[in-house]
Structure 1
Amino acid sequence: MTRYKHYAQRPEFITPEFLQAEFGTLIETLPAAEAAADAAPWLEAISRWNALRAYSEGEHARLNYAFSKNCLDPELETQDRYLREKILPVREEGDAQFLPALGGTRHRPAIAAQYGSYFLDRMAAGLQTVDPVNSDLRIQLGELAMQYDKAVASGEVTVGGEAMTLTKAVGIANGSDQAAVRREAYIAYREWFVQNRETLAGIFSKMVALRDQMGRNLGHANFVTLGYAGMSRTDYGPAQAAEFRRGVREHFVPLRRKLMARQARELGDAVLKPWDASYHQSLGIPLGAVPVEGQLDAAQNVFSKLSPRLAKHFEHMRANHLIDLENRKGKRGGAFCTSFPDEGQVAIFCNSTGQADDVRTLTHEMGHAFQAWESQAIELVELQWPTAEAAEIHSMGMEFLSLRHIDAFFADAEHARRFRKKRWTGAVELITYCCVVDEFQHWVYENPAASADERDAQWDRIWETYIPGLDFSGIEQHRAARWYAQLHIFRLPFYYIDYAIAETGAMQLAVMDAKDPAAAMETYIELCRIGGTRGVLDIFKSAGLRSPFDAGVMADLAAHVARECELA
């Protein structure tokens, strides 16, 4: 049942005719709303638009969730294409008529008083992303994204004589305590992308050309400005992102060098091999240490100790089958959290294989879910989720806050201790890698005519800037193969820096938790309740966190991480 009164009666499955009629009726009311003496008619129009958004986004999210469970299902593929080609353009066309009127209304002060001025700013920032001039190009992009998803979802390799998914192989490559097994799994995984490079590079080249044309259609020099608009960024731009990366190069890359040198020493090597990059011998946790069948019970234990309020959300999700946990063939790679706003429900999607890293993924996605549940009281669907960099504070923050009780996942207390330590080394690895992806994406869209070979060369150059010293001797092509495996580069341009920005907030929450766990949890829940009603820098400020762009914050965090990683 819908939670929005306007669409208690609706089609069994959304149709373009329904959307066209509803948007048509809505747009027809706007001249009278603008002429009205007060803002009441405009507020009613926003309410109707919001309900329509909730319904259409709910339909899209439900299908995407189902299709992600089995990318090889032809019926779901047909429905997915139907939504992308028939439904999404109609919604975008309606928004392209509604949002300019909203942005230009003389009733703006009253609307801002009701919903906050940030709502209007955020809608204005994203307006160009629904411009009808690019509707056909967005459909083509969706088709290419589906081709990429299907290719990776169907990928299989053989490790130790066993055929397995790419997800399982990379889990073994990152987690096995046997060097030969790590090497075999790593080579098999990366070699799959090398062998399929021509296909994947072809898909990406078409994507870049389409995105570049979309930017030019709106009067931009390239896609970068439109890409930032697509992320609804109102608080910073490419210049600030470049300054953030400079801080990482100055303060976190030296830590990465020290970690890699220590890893090599522990393994008795002079240099670190790529299959050992994620393996810290002193922090190793055996494969299969966290059996999939016990992960949900362990998570329930952790969340119950952290917060009874949050634990209830988790209980509800388990009872209503809103957690798809285990990896299997045909399942889309990666993990995500989604919501069905017209139903007021939140779901998560994982690819657990029994490895220790599953714990991080599960707590990460539940961090998103906790924020989404706590934000359900926010009326406007557009404000229930923060922009990406702010949203990742909740997910990464939950990773850190869960560490206090993480023993629930592990039968061996030593494994739990290692997991905690590895989360801090992981912060260094994450922040430096995020900057590789971000700088690469800026280069790609500033040089849209580059060849696949030129892109690979730039990836290698940027990689060596942030992750210097890995020995790819004899397998040099495997370094560039990494970006073909990064879903965000294909599907979500300019997203990845959000993880690094958010990590600066999550680490600050961890520092707070070490001093006062109750205060840290109170702050965390308040962050969840804020949802997307403020910009990212206001969200940092509201929680008493320092801005990721503040001078000195990177140096202070790097010093703390160095102590946690025993590098100081």
Structure 2
Amino acid sequence: MFDSIPSDPEILKTWSWSDFQPYYQDLIGRRLTSDGVAEFLTDWTRINEVIDETYSRLHVLMTVDTSDKAAEELFHAFLENVFPPSEEAEQELKKKLLELGTVPSDFAVPMKKMKAEAELFREDNLKLQVHEHKLTTEYDKIVGAQTVQWEGKEVTVVQLRPVFQSQDRKLREKAWRTSLERQLQDRSAISELWKEFMKVRLELASNADCRDYRSYRWKQMLRFDYTPEDSLQFDKAIEEAVVPVAARIVDRRRKLLELSSVRPWDMDVDPLGRSPLRPFQVISELRDKTASVFRSMDPVLGGYFEIMEREGLLDLENRKNKAPGGYCTEFAASKRPFIFMNAVGIHEDIQTLLHESGHAFHAFERSGLPFHQQRSVGMEFSEVASMGMELLASPYLRKDRGGFYSESESARALSKHLEDSILFWPYMAMVDSFQHWVYENPNVSVDAANCDKEWAALTKRFMPWLDWSGLEQEAMTGWHRKLHIHVVPFYYVEYGFAQLGAVQVWRNAMKDETAAIKAYRAALALGGTASLPMLFETAGARFAFDTEMLNSAVSLMEEVLGTLRDRQE
């Protein structure tokens, strides 16, 4: 029966629940025994993959063109008509397996996750989850439509980013102010949307009998290896160990630029007066040279990227009405990842593509696991796959190793990456601390004006080096422009944990690159069959987030930065 499920996504995207339902009914109605568990899980995996891929493909259609009404209608039809009953059916199957208690090997961690999901499930929340999905679509539409007039042309706000690197300070200030002026025009719309997000999320938590949304979300995100208190402690450790180092980096920038203070438009320009790195002119160049980087680095990883090139699984360039940001999603039934991003010709585009490729490689590596539950990985380690790839690939960005740059440009690019990574930790802690505050104080934070005040206070705490004088409105609304806060709440601390893991993987590669890549791939191949500490250990790292661990990582990064600066100055 399950062999009859079509594989053509063009057919599946128009399927209604009545098309999917018979397969779930078959599974729900089966008499399940220990001997039949493997077959049961195999068939369950098949229908789950098809549902998951249909959702992913419809979401992709929505984000590649937020003005596509037909795509929006298909996506909303899926959310309204297929998502709720499929989730109910999934809940029945989880209960069925949990009641049996017999599972195959390498299934202990997936079983633990399944138990948590089953405990959290409430039928009343299905419509709320659909509504939340629609709100995220509205946020994407608002941001995706943000364009400005620049030099006689209509360009997206993202397309102004290269101007921020100009040595002409007045020009980059003008570009920055033009961008922020346009973004502030949507302040009221985003604030109103925020009220809806908060209302839905508080109701989700209440329905699930959770004391607050944070505890609901913690369980929903299957966080078993650390607590909210651990997350806040990590933020505090960043304040102690990283903020002083980041402040030194920015002060060095201030001195090199001969400024009295560093303004927001001074953070992207090269402080030594060099022209911005322009690694590629057209998207095909970004794609081809990145493929060459991966081939030089590891033939298996290079092969994965070539599959994505060949099969049209890369949507890289920025354009009007394209959703913001970048992501890698997975077409589960096809066993293929898909990368979405907004490239505009700057070095950060390379970093984004390396990052998302790390996620793609993770999808390829774990695709051999037989059951879909085994392939679900916590983002704390998924982001090690992506952030680790940014660092592992850094030696191959030189032209003589297949990449984009001369030796001095490559040193400059790595310097920028390490500085940005150090500066990222305080920003991550700011975003994370903000979200804890939001959901600890929901009666206050439902008012966007109170969120503005809290964001402003956190900015002073974690990023005191920026001079926002006269830009108070721009500063306090920074949370409006952080997609994760609106679309995927509490999904951000993972980046901080993962960067700590990635630096450890990179440290190993500097000693023995072949062994480090082998360990990296071995950890990716485990999928979700191991705990976070075990995944980190397999990759050659330690899952820890205290001041001592941060000091060790930052010291290494500062040491390498010193060597790289000597090669450039």
TM-score grouping bracket, smaller chain normalisation: over 0.9
Picking from 540, 543, 546, the partner of 2:539 is 543
- CA shift, 1:551, in A, is 6.3
Q: More deviation in 91-100 or 448-457?
A: 91-100
Superposed, 1:50-199 pairs within 5 Å as 50-103=45-98, 105=99, 107-108=100-101, 110-111=102-103, 113-128=104-119, 130-173=121-164, 175-199=165-189
Q: 1:495 to 1:211 in 2, by over 3 A?
A: same
- CA shift, 1:527, in A, is 1.9
1:239 aligns with 2:201: no
1:48 is aligned to 43
Superposed, 1:520-539 pairs within 5 Å as 520-539=516-535
1:290 aligns with 2:254: no
1:14 aligns with 2:15: yes
Q: More deviation in 412-421 or 443-452?
A: 412-421
1:266 is aligned to 256
1:426 is aligned to 420
Write the letter of the residue equivalent to 1:207. F
Q: Secondary structure at the match of 2:328?
A: strand
1:443 is aligned to 437
1:503 is aligned to 499
Q: 1:321 to 1:44 in 2, by over 3 A?
A: same
| Cα separation, 2, equivalents of 1:353 and 1:213 | 40
Asked if the contact 1:375–1:531 (Cα under 8 Å) also holds between the matched residues in 2, the reply is yes
- CA shift, 1:562, in A, is 2.1
1:470 aligns with 2:466: yes
Q: 1:425 to 1:551 in 2, by over 3 A?
A: closer
Asked if the contact 2:243–2:463 (Cα under 8 Å) also holds between the matched residues in 1, the reply is yes
Q: Secondary structure at the match of 1:364?
A: helix
What CA deviation, in whole Å up to 9, does each residue of 1:238-275 have, x standing for no partner?
01111111211110011111111111111111221011
Asked if the contact 2:144–2:323 (Cα under 8 Å) also holds between the matched residues in 1, the reply is yes
Q: Secondary structure at the match of 1:545?
A: coil
What CA deviation, in whole Å up to 9, does each residue of 1:426-462 have, x standing for no partner?
1111111111111111111112222111001111111
Picking from 326, 329, 336, the partner of 1:335 is 326
Q: 1:458 to 1:375 in 2, by over 3 A?
A: same
What CA deviation, in whole Å up to 9, does each residue of 1:310-365 have, x standing for no partner?
11111111111111111111111111111111112221111111111111001111
Q: Secondary structure at the match of 2:337?
A: strand
Write the letter of the residue equivalent to 1:404. P
Q: More deviation in 264-273 or 122-131?
A: 122-131
Stretches of structure 2 that go unaligned for 5 or more consecutive residues are none
1:381 aligns with 2:382: no
Q: 1:122 to 1:565 in 2, by over 3 A?
A: same
Q: 1:326 to 1:138 in 2, by over 3 A?
A: same
| Cα separation, 1, equivalents of 2:77 and 2:170 | 46
Asked if the contact 2:508–2:540 (Cα under 8 Å) also holds between the matched residues in 1, the reply is no
| Cα separation, 2, equivalents of 1:462 and 1:124 | 37
Paired-residue identity, %: 26
| Cα separation, 1, equivalents of 2:334 and 2:307 | 14
Q: Secondary structure at the match of 1:548?
A: coil
Asked if the contact 2:520–2:538 (Cα under 8 Å) also holds between the matched residues in 1, the reply is no
What CA deviation, in whole Å up to 9, does each residue of 1:495-547 have, x standing for no partner?
11111110001111111111111111111211221122222222112223112
What CA deviation, in whole Å up to 9, does each residue of 1:95-135 have, x standing for no partner?
222223333x2x42x30x43421010112233355421211
| Cα separation, 2, equivalents of 1:490 and 1:285 | 35
1:312 is aligned to 303
Write the letter of the residue equivalent to 1:449. N
- CA shift, 1:286, in A, is 1.5
Write the letter of the residue equivalent to 2:192. G
Q: Secondary structure at the match of 1:281?
A: coil
Write the letter of the residue equivalent to 2:415. K
Asked if the contact 1:289–1:354 (Cα under 8 Å) also holds between the matched residues in 2, the reply is yes
Asked if the contact 2:256–2:271 (Cα under 8 Å) also holds between the matched residues in 1, the reply is yes
Q: Secondary structure at the match of 2:393?
A: helix
1:519 aligns with 2:515: yes
Asked if the contact 1:176–1:286 (Cα under 8 Å) also holds between the matched residues in 2, the reply is yes
Q: 1:419 to 1:217 in 2, by over 3 A?
A: same
| Cα separation, 2, equivalents of 1:9 and 1:66 | 18
| Cα separation, 2, equivalents of 1:246 and 1:5 | 53
| Cα separation, 1, equivalents of 2:148 and 2:388 | 34
Asked if the contact 2:108–2:529 (Cα under 8 Å) also holds between the matched residues in 1, the reply is no
Q: More deviation in 49-58 or 280-289?
A: 280-289
Q: 1:564 to 1:285 in 2, by over 3 A?
A: farther
2:347 is aligned to 356
TM-score (norm 1): 0.93
Q: More deviation in 184-193 or 127-136?
A: 127-136
Q: Secondary structure at the match of 1:282?
A: coil
1:252 is aligned to 242
| Cα separation, 1, equivalents of 2:177 and 2:7 | 54
Asked if the contact 2:520–2:540 (Cα under 8 Å) also holds between the matched residues in 1, the reply is no
Write the letter of the residue equivalent to 1:46. L
1:225 aligns with 2:212: no
1:558 aligns with 2:554: yes
Write the letter of the residue equivalent to 1:258. R
Asked if the contact 1:251–1:554 (Cα under 8 Å) also holds between the matched residues in 2, the reply is yes
Asked if the contact 1:224–1:442 (Cα under 8 Å) also holds between the matched residues in 2, the reply is yes
Q: Secondary structure at the match of 1:135?
A: helix
| Cα separation, 2, equivalents of 1:9 and 1:65 | 18
Q: How many residues align?
A: 555
Q: More deviation in 244-253 or 528-537?
A: 528-537
2:388 is aligned to 397
- CA shift, 1:84, in A, is 1.2
Q: Secondary structure at the match of 2:345?
A: coil
Q: Secondary structure at the match of 2:342?
A: strand
Q: 1:285 to 1:500 in 2, by over 3 A?
A: farther
| Cα separation, 2, equivalents of 1:283 and 1:379 | 54
Q: More deviation in 484-493 or 556-565?
A: 556-565
1:204 is aligned to 194
Q: Secondary structure at the match of 1:565?
A: helix
Write the letter of the residue equivalent to 1:474. G
| Cα separation, 2, equivalents of 1:422 and 1:64 | 33
What CA deviation, in whole Å up to 9, does each residue of 1:122-180 have, x standing for no partner?
1223335542121111111111111111111111023344321122123433x333322
